[in-house]
């Protein structure tokens, strides 16, 4: 049992709020800057390198996910989480002071280096506070993951727009400082330093970190640029070299024994595919309602609400069903089928009434919902306690890569077609249906875990 479970309910609530504050800040920062891009380019005179403001943050946060996850298993949750949060806040302060575009890009890297810890170690810490085998823990994990995704997805652009219009784009970064400082104070005071007794011991895997960083960077840049044919094979070759090194490392940054387990392997692949399949729907529905249907920004935002409402309602329902049955496989399979069918229906989006299109969006949200928290629970329950951090990091890394892959494929399909309405419908249909069916195949290969091996007790 971890020392966290000895904390009072009030202390645990404070730790939870501080942890989620950090997670939310990092998630919002990934999307809030998109709205502010025109103003940033105007003031810093850097239109040509504008995309790197987002890419630099994405790269830095993604490549550090497995490193922080492994450090959390080896040295406890406290130090990696505080280090990540401190780096994130330092990067935020520097971004607010940036005088030109190169400076802003470098400072976004600093920010991203910290952000990589917040979701991975943060959600691992939440799992320690409220173990999934307890009813409160399962419900919290499901609800919190859904809420964070929805708030960051919808709230980030809204926050960025409001702050840019009324206070200036630098406030996107400045608002992080007081909230983050309060979170640091709470976590430093209440989270104990606890190094797991069953941790791996040996020399740190520096070669693995460098290889994995280079490989992921090349893959992400390849998916986001026109250099895919050149960079992607090189990135995959480095991943192969990384696997070779990990097999011989005494303390591998990614324990390959995790992937020897059928369920963990299936869960991470399913996480990649679910995220890739849902990405075009989340991004292109707003474009459809504005550019094709002629709605304003506010009205088009309301049209996307059913998608998010489906995610929230389905996530809550998933938690209730899992509490009753203790099983997640059937829910994940049903979600994959629903997402695939709802997405495929939008191939005819140019002739569908608006209410049908909105209804399909809600069904896509319902289909995605079981994967939001259910997959995280399955991943953590399929490994030993000493590997929970690495398992969470591996899942988050694959989901991040899945989002990038879904975006790249979706954009490629969109620009390859002439008529916008049909292009959007075809893109959502193809990526959603194919991704959903592939996710179904991955889910069917996993064992039907009992995620509540211990009796459920109130705590």
Beta bridge partners, 364, equal: none
Q: Angle at the Cα of 450 (from 447 to 456), degrees rounded to 5?
A: 170
Which of the residue ranges 123-137, 218-232, 325-339 has the most confident prediction, judged by mean pLDDT?
Answer: 325-339
- Quick one: average pLDDT of 39-66? 79
Ramachandran assignment for 168, one of left (phi > 0), alpha (psi -120 to 50 degrees), beta (any other): left
- Dist. CA 368–CA 386, nearest whole Å: 29
- Dist. CA 319–CA 329, nearest whole Å: 13
Structure tokens at 431: 């990526």
Is the separation of the CB atoms in 365 and 310 below 8 Å? yes
pLDDT of residue 339: 93
What DSSP character marks residue 456? P
Report which of 24, 27, 56 is spatially closest to residue 40, judged by C-alpha positions.
56
Which of the residue ranges 4-8, 164-168, 186-190 has the most confident prediction, judged by mean pLDDT?
Answer: 186-190
The answer on pLDDT for 403 being more than 90 is no
pLDDT of residue 50: 66
Cα-trace Rg, the chain = 21
Beta bridge partners, 204, equal: 251
- Residues comprising the chain, all counted: 459
Structure tokens at 246: 């990990």
Which runs of consecutive H residues, i.e. helices, occur in 225-304?
228-246, 257-260, 262-287, 297-303
Which of the residue ranges 84-88, 187-191, 314-318 has the most confident prediction, judged by mean pLDDT?
Answer: 84-88
- Quick one: average pLDDT of 423-443? 92
Class of domain 255-451: mainly alpha
The more confidently predicted of residues 326 and 102 is 102
- Quick one: average pLDDT of 408-415? 80
Please report which confidence band the pLDDT of residue 455 belongs to, taking 50, 70 and 90 as the band edges.
very low
- Percent of the chain at pLDDT above 70? 84
- Measured from the Cβ of residue 203, the count of other Cβ atoms closer than 10 Å reads 8
Which residues have CB under 8 Å from 8's CB, separation 6+?
A: none
Please report which confidence band the pLDDT of residue 95 belongs to, taking 50, 70 and 90 as the band edges.
very high
Q: For 3-42, b where at least 16 C-beta lie within 10 A, e where not — what string?
A: ebeebeeebbebbbebbbbbbbbbbbbbbbbebbbeebbe
Please report which confidence band the pLDDT of residue 35 belongs to, taking 50, 70 and 90 as the band edges.
low
pLDDT of residue 272: 92
Report which of 262, 261, 256 is spatially closest to residue 446, judged by C-alpha positions.
262
pLDDT of residue 296: 67
- Quick one: average pLDDT of 45-50? 69
The answer on pLDDT for 137 being more than 70 is no
- Dist. CA 277–CA 285, nearest whole Å: 14
- Percent of the chain at pLDDT above 90? 20
Please report which confidence band the pLDDT of residue 440 belongs to, taking 50, 70 and 90 as the band edges.
very high
Question: Which of 188-192's residues contact partners 24+ apart within 8 Å by CB, and which partners?
Answer: 188/82, 190/7, 190/11, 190/14, 190/15, 190/18, 191/4, 191/15, 191/77, 191/78, 191/81, 191/125, 192/3, 192/4, 192/78
Is the separation of the CB atoms in 211 and 252 below 8 Å? no
The answer on pLDDT for 239 being more than 60 is yes
Roughly what angle, to the nearest 10 degrees, separates helices 135-150 and 305-325? 170
- Measured from the Cβ of residue 181, the count of other Cβ atoms closer than 10 Å reads 13
Mean per-residue pLDDT of the chain: 81
1-196 matches 255-451 in fold: yes
pLDDT of residue 180: 93
CB-neighbour burial class of residue 441 (10 A; exposed 0-12, middle 13-18, buried 19+): middle
Is the separation of the CB atoms in 382 and 327 below 8 Å? no
Task: Give the sign of the dihedral formed by CA 332, CA 336, CA 338, CA 343.
Answer: positive
pLDDT of residue 142: 55
pLDDT of residue 145: 61
pLDDT digits (tens, 9 = 90+) for 356-370: 988 998 999 899 888
Tell the residue number behind the tokens 């504005």, with chain if given: 290
The more confidently predicted of residues 437 and 200 is 437
pLDDT of residue 434: 94
pLDDT of residue 292: 81
Report which of 376, 412, 119, 442 is spatially closest to residue 279, judged by C-alpha positions.
412
Tell the residue number behind the tokens 């951090």, with chain if given: 389
**CA atoms within a 13 Å half-sphere pointing along the CA-CB vector of 335:** 33
Please report which confidence band the pLDDT of residue 298 belongs to, taking 50, 70 and 90 as the band edges.
low
The answer on pLDDT for 240 being more than 50 is yes
Which residues have CB under 8 Å from 144's CB, separation 6+?
A: 20, 126, 373
Class of domain 1-196: mainly alpha
User: What ranges do the domains of the chain cover?
Assistant: 1-196, 206-254, 255-451
Roughly what angle, to the nearest 10 degrees, separates helices 135-150 and 9-44? 10
Which residues have CB under 8 Å from 273's CB, separation 6+?
A: 402, 435, 436, 438, 439, 442
Which of the residue ranges 12-21, 103-112, 151-160, 187-196 has the most confident prediction, judged by mean pLDDT?
Answer: 103-112
pLDDT of residue 458: 36
Which of the residue ranges 57-71, 168-182, 359-373 has the most confident prediction, judged by mean pLDDT?
Answer: 168-182
- Lowest-confidence pick of 44-58, 151-165, 342-356: 151-165
- Dist. CA 27–CA 33, nearest whole Å: 11
């Amino acid at each position: 049992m971890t020392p966290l479970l000895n904390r009072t309910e009030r202390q645990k609530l404070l730790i939870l709020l501080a942890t989620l504050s950090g997670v939310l800040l990092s998630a919002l920062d990934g999307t809030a800057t998109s709205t502010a891009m025109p103003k940033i380019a105007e003031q810093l005179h850097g239109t040509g390198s504008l995309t790197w403001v987002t890419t630099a943050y994405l790269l830095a946060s993604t490549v550090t996910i497995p490193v922080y996850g492994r450090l959390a298993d080896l040295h406890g949750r406290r130090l990696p989480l505080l280090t990540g949060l401190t780096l994130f806040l330092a990067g935020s302060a520097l971004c607010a002071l940036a005088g030109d575009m190169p400076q802003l890009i470098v400072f976004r890297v600093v920010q991203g280096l910290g952000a990589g810890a917040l979701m991975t170690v943060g959600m691992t810490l939440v799992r320690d506070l409220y173990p999934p085998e307890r009813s409160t823990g399962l419900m919290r994990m499901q609800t919190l993951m859904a809420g964070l995704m929805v708030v960051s997805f919808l709230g980030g652009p809204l926050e960025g727009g409001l702050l840019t219009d009324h206070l200036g784009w630098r406030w996107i970064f400045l608002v992080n400082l007081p909230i983050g400082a309060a979170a640091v104070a709470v976590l430093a005071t209440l989270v104990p330093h606890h190094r797991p007794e069953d941790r791996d011991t040996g020399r740190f895997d520096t070669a693995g970190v460098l290889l994995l960083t280079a490989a992921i960077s090349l893959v992400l840049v390849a998916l986001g640029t026109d250099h895919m044919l050149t960079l992607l094979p090189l990135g995959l070759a480095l991943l192969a070299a990384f696997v070779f090194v990990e097999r011989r490392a005494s303390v591998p940054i990614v324990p390959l024994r995790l992937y020897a387990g059928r369920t963990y392997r299936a869960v991470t692949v399913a996480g990649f595919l679910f995220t890739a399949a849902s990405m075009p729907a989340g991004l292109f529905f707003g474009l459809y309602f504005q550019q094709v249907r002629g709605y304003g920004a506010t009205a088009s935002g309301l049209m996307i609400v059913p998608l998010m409402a489906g995610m929230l309602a389905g996530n809550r329902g998933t938690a209730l069903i899992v509490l009753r049955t203790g099983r997640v496989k059937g829910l994940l399979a049903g979600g994959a089928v629903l997402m695939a069918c709802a997405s495929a229906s939008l191939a005819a989006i140019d002739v569908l009434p608006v209410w049908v299109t909105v209804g399909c969006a809600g069904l896509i949200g319902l289909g995605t919902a079981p994967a939001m928290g259910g997959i995280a629970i399955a991943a953590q329950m399929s490994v030993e306690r000493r590997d929970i951090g690495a398992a969470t990091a591996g899942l988050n890394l694959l989901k991040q890569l899945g989002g990038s892959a879904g975006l790249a494929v979706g954009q490629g399909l969109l620009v390859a077609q002439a008529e916008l309405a049909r292009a959007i419908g075809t893109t959502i249909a193809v990526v959603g249906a194919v991704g959903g069916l592939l996710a179904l195949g991955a889910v069917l290969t996993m064992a039907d875990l009992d995620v509540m091996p211990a009796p459920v007790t109130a705590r």
